[in-house]
Amino acid sequence: MWIVPGVAALVVVWGVLAFNRLVRLRMQARAAWSQIDVQLCRRHDLIPNLVESVKGYMAHERATLDAVVAARTRAQSAGDDVATRGAAESALGGALSRLMMLIENYPQLKASETVLALQEELASTENRIAFARQHFNDCVMTYNTAIGSIPDMLLAGAAGFQPQTMYEAEGAVRGPVGVKL
């Protein structure tokens, strides 16, 4: 007589605990994405200063400077879709990498304190982006594993929990942009 209500109570308790765990994991992934966004915005803010600092010396490298500015604009307007944003940010990273290689060919730029400070700040930001991306991917992996594992998958499907996409660097850039100081 007490067995059926006891089992029902255990199922309800399990459902509440599992649902709350899935919500917590989803929110951790969203918070981790926000940290990536903060670092990407920081990088976006540094780029105009760097371009302005080097453009006087690199007048005949206008195509590279324009490519960096255009890639920044595309990255800023990419939205919150992880795959789209990842592709746009990878393109920006590639353009920045090409710019950094060109800066190495200009002794005046390599000696400029402003350019050196911006390069150092950009390198630091790239490292922060890499760490934030790793943290996000760890959170997404934990969340996706939870919603795909029995018995949580039974609740996850019914409650509308959807798998999330990991943030992957595409193209030539994998990890922080190499910057020589």
Q: Rounded CA gap, 13 and 80, in Å?
A: 35
pLDDT bin (cut points 50, 70, 90) of residue 88 is very high
**Tell me: the pLDDT tens digits for 42-70?**
999 999 988 888 877 777 778 888 899 99
For 153-167, what is the mean pLDDT?
A: 91
* Domain ranges (residues) in the chain: 3-159
pLDDT bin (cut points 50, 70, 90) of residue 180 is very low
Say if residue 87's pLDDT is above 80. Answer: yes
Q: What dotted CATH number matches 3-159?
A: 1.20.1440.20
Say if residue 32's pLDDT is above 90. Answer: yes
| Mean of per-residue pLDDT scores for the chain | 87
> What does 38-66 look like in DSSP terms, one character per residue?
HHHHHHHHHHHHHHHHHHTT-GGGHHHHH
User: What is the share, in percent, of the chain residues with pLDDT greater than 90?
Assistant: 55
Q: Rounded CA gap, 128 and 106, in Å?
A: 27
For 60-85, what is the mean pLDDT?
A: 88
Question: Taking Cα atoms as reference points, which of 125, 116, 142 lies closest to residue 89?
Answer: 125
Tokens representing residue 44 in the block: 């976006």
